[in-house]
Amino acid sequence: MNKISCVYLNGEFLPPERAKISAFDRGFIFGDGVYEVIPVFGGRPFRLTHHLSRLERSLSALGIINPLPPEDWEAIFQRLITGHGDADQSIYLQITRGVAERDHSYPENVSPTVFAYAQIMRYPDAATLAKGVSAITLEDIRWQRCDIKAVALLANVMMRQKAVESGSAESILIRDGLLTEGAASNIFIVKNGRLRTPPSNAYILPGITRDLIVELAEANGIQCLQTELTETELMDADEVWMTSSTKEILPVTQLNHKAVGSGVPGPMHAKLYAIYQDYKEAFRQGKVR
Ligand code: PDD
């Protein structure tokens, strides 16, 4: 395990082995909570405002009142980050409804459980980036509120495991013949030089990386169409990418054990990957917020 010497739990900074929660926590009993994964570059959380507003949306969908204002979140993150110096990191933040006697409906007068830690970012290595990864397609067996970043991830866990068992890095999910997203990523495709990604709706998580790629593409004169994509369009694509805060923009070069396009990462990936890295570098140097 990545070395974590300090975690935040309910107001305290503790060594991980001292961080304990009740077995009656509704996160444990029902998966009743939400989370965020926030990258850190140059000692600062990346796209923090975006992550905090997605957190707010997830909490409010569950009727949990955000326990802290943005400046307190920032102060907690800053303290966790400091432990790893300047290294690129990711912050994991989880908020559950809290501890109560087991009953499905929301209990009254409980305080949310708040848990957070930072760890060194583990990027896909250079060889993986150069070659791309393989993915399989699966029927999307999740619920109808995939826009909530809920900790109840059993379907995602099962579907990612199927990918691993077939020697692949990710499962790409299809609902009613349409592409939704990956088990833990958003998906982009390129066909005839045109970049496309499924629209933000209840069937996908509004990825912070996804939204940044759309923004950066457009700022650089590359149109990105947010549109419904069929399984056939996915299978016929010249390029397929998976995106997330920890995987960044990873080319998928094998789909269901067949080559995607020419079987190597494509030119549009090279372009957007470079733009993304430049933007990160500018953030690191404090040139963008
Ligand atoms: N997951 N879709 C799903 C289902 C995800 O779990 C994730 C990220 C994304 C990409 O979102 P973002 O760009 O904001 O990271 C899309 C995180 C990294 C995780 O569960 O570890």
pLDDT digits (tens, 9 = 90+) for 22-59: 999 999 999 999 999 999 999 999 999 999 999 999 99
Which tokens is 56 given? 């707010």
Predicted local distance difference test score (pLDDT) of residue 1: 54
Q: What is the mean pLDDT of residues 153-158?
A: 98
At 121, list the tokens: 């970012």
Nearest-angstrom CA–CA distance, 264 and 137: 19
All structural domains of the chain, each given as residue ranges with its CATH number in brackets, are: 7-120 (3.30.470.10), 126-284 (3.20.10.10)
Does 37 sit in the ligand 1 pocket, CB within 6 Å? yes
pLDDT tens digits for range 184-239: 999 999 999 999 999 999 999 999 999 999 999 999 999 999 999 999 999 999 99
Q: Is 197 in the pocket of ligand 1 (CB under 6 A)?
A: no
Ligand 1: residue whose CA is nearest its atom 20:
184
Contacts of 274 (CB under 8 A, 6+ apart): none
CA of residue 101 to ligand 1 center, whole Å = 31
| 77: confidence class by pLDDT, cuts 50, 70, 90 | very high
Residue among 20, 149, 247, 280 flagged as catalytic: 149
- For tokens 């077939």, name the residue: 166
CA distance 119 to 90: 6
- This prediction's pTM: 0.97
CA 204 – ligand 1 centroid, Å: 10
Dihedral angle of Cα 6, 8, 13, 15, to the nearest 10 degrees? -40
Residue nearest to atom 16 of ligand 1 (CA): 185
Q: Is 149 a catalytic residue?
A: yes
